[in-house]
Amino acid sequence: MTQNTEQQTKRYIIVNADDLGRSSSVNAAIAEAYDRGIVTSASLMARGGAFDGAVQMALKRNLSLGLHVTLCDGRAVLKHTQVPDLVDQDGCFEKSPVKAWIKYMKPGILPQIEAEVAAQFDRLEKEGIHPVHVDSHHHLQMNPLIFEVICRQASKREVGWIRIPNEPVSVIFSRCSLSRGIMPFVEKAVFGMLRMFNLKTARKYGMNVACYSLGLAWTGSIDEKCLPELLAHAKGQVNEIFIHPDIETDSGRKELEALASISALRSFVPPGMEIIGFRELSGEGIAPDSALGRI
């Protein structure tokens, strides 16, 4: 078997922790999930309340880092005078992601969104961090207008990967999603429709997208039992599981316990599957078409 054939038959999974820099409790959980567990990658909030601590923690480790674009439920990098339609006088975005989504459909607002996204990328770069992937807080990147802005800014900086949540129907009907009621079904329908538009945009800008990006339907429910089960649904060549460990919340602590437990670690790696970071994945010779949802 040739080296290229071996690469094509191997499967990869990235375990990505979102919200790095949001708080010191999130930073501590992600550090532990990396040190003791299977987290390989994290998404950093450029204006998070514990940004400086997150940078110091991440640079001491081999975490593959990306930008967690924040356009709701957080603070802007730019001043209110620079993005007056995005934030209040204190520099805070709309807290509700639904209200923010609707607000950002307003004509003429995209230049301010682009300026803020660029500023968030720039802040990471100033700290010596070159992000290799990008996603967003509360998945606002799935708005096609925002998605193109992020792709444009990411491609200028040679950021290779962008998240498009994609889960098989079997995930939606599993026991681990029951606690969220009808929301997994609504998200599947809406994001499934938007995925087609956004995949075209990703291709336009040369961005890679994991075949499966899992974790949305089971938000707040991932524990030691659900985590190995979630792996069974990762059937593409490149897969991502995104999680939210936090030592100060019940759901965050459960995720941390699952990520750091020996039993989860052993059951999480079936034959032919390799846990890897987005940065390391860039050197594995993955062809763009094999990671752009052709499943």
Please name the residue ranges forming H helices in the chain. 3-9, 24-35, 51-59, 97-103, 110-126, 144-156, 169-172, 183-204, 226-231, 250-260, 262-267, 278-281
Neighbouring CB atoms inside 10 A of 124's CB total 21
CA atoms within a 13 Å half-sphere pointing along the CA-CB vector of 174: 23
Three-state SS at 228: helix
Q: What is the pLDDT at residue 283?
A: 58
Helix (H) or strand (E) holding 240: strand 238-243
Alpha carbon of 31 to those of 25, 34, 63, 122, 255: distances in Å?
Answer: 10, 5, 9, 24, 13
Residues 158-178 as b or e (16 or more Cβ within 10 Å = b): ebbbbbbbbbbeebbebebbe
Report the alpha-carbon distance of residue 263 to residue 268 in Å, rounded: 8
Q: What is the pLDDT at residue 224?
A: 86
Q: What is the pLDDT at residue 265?
A: 67
Q: Could you tell me the residue ranges of all domains in the chain?
A: 3-291
Q: What is the mean pLDDT of each run of 10 residues along the chain (295 residues)?
A: 51 95 98 93 97 95 95 98 97 97 95 98 96 97 97 97 93 77 86 94 96 91 85 87 96 92 67 87 52 39
272 burial (CB, 10 Å; 0-12 / 13-18 / 19+) is exposed
Residues 191-210 as b or e (16 or more Cβ within 10 Å = b): beebbeebbebbbebebbbb
Q: What is the pLDDT at residue 135?
A: 98
Domain 3-291 has CATH 1.10.1040.10: no
Q: What is the pLDDT at residue 4?
A: 46
Three-state SS at 212: strand
Report the alpha-carbon distance of residue 168 to residue 173 in Å, rounded: 9
Q: What is the pLDDT at residue 235?
A: 83
Report the alpha-carbon distance of residue 127 to residue 201 in Å, rounded: 29
